């Protein structure tokens, strides 16, 4: 079972809505980690306490550093709310990192993770306890999927990315060939223009050699 929430803020542009999803238990979290979207999903957890694993899905082109503060606060409050011990405390730290930075080893317990690079782990602090307005707003958007096909969703996403990259490559390749062809035409045009200039120079030289004086040339054209 996966719980889905929507972080909606009308004043955020160009993306007023973000998807947040949460695993029901540690076994569900194994699949969420395995089938998360690299470079697009961000993982949240209460620091040094047991809590749900909360995931934020970024929009294309966004990074962990560009998460809007309101959305970041929504994720942090949702993590706190889903931590038995953290929910009781006034102050808690919430850590978050790109899902691709999560490390799983065969020796780990179910749902346990570590980090590949500690420098990619960020932290935000909740100082004033649980914000019920935020939690209630998020709960109103909650939907539940009993058995979502996470593997297929990721596969379809990967295929879309491949098609997008291929289309981008084909577009750039077409542009390159058109520019290359235009360059050839420009070179040919310059060579043709230079040839005409050289021919005119030869013609003028021959004409000047034909007459011994200006008077002779003038008489020839009268």
- Residue stretches of the chain with pLDDT short of 50: 214, 221
Question: Per residue in 96-148, pLDDT tens?
Answer: 999 999 998 888 888 788 999 999 999 999 999 999 999 999 999 999 988 88
CB 114 within 8 A of CB 105: yes
Structure tokens at 42: 């961000």
The pLDDT, as a whole number, for residue 204 is 60
The pLDDT, as a whole number, for residue 93 is 95
CB 19 within 8 A of CB 57: yes
Q: Is the pTM of this model over 0.75?
A: no
């Amino acid at each position: 079972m996966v719980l889905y929430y929507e972080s909606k803020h009308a004043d955020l542009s160009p993306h007023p809505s973000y998807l947040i999803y949460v695993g029901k238990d540690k076994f569900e979290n194994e699949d969420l980690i395995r089938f998360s979207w690299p470079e697009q999903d961000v993982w949240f957890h209460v620091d040094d306490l047991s809590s749900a694993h909360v995931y934020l899905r970024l929009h294309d082109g966004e990074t962990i550093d560009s998460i809007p503060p309101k959305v970041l606060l929504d994720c942090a409050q949702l993590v706190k709310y889903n931590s038995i011990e953290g929910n009781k405390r006034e102050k808690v730290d919430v850590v978050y990192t790109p899902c691709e930075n999560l490390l799983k080893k065969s020796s780990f317990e179910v749902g346990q993770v570590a980090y590949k690079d500690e420098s990619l782990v960020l932290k935000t602090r909740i100082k004033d306890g649980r914000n019920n307005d935020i939690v209630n707003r998020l709960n109103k958007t909650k939907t539940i999927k009993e058995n979502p096909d996470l593997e297929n969703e990721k596969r379809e996403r990967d295929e879309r990315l491949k098609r997008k990259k291929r289309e981008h490559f084909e577009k750039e390749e077409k542009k390159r060939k058109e520019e290359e062809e235009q360059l050839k035409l420009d070179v040919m045009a310059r060579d043709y223009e230079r040839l005409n200039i050289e021919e005119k120079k030869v013609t003028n030289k021959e004409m000047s050699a034909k007459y011994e004086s200006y008077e002779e040339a003038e008489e020839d054209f009268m």
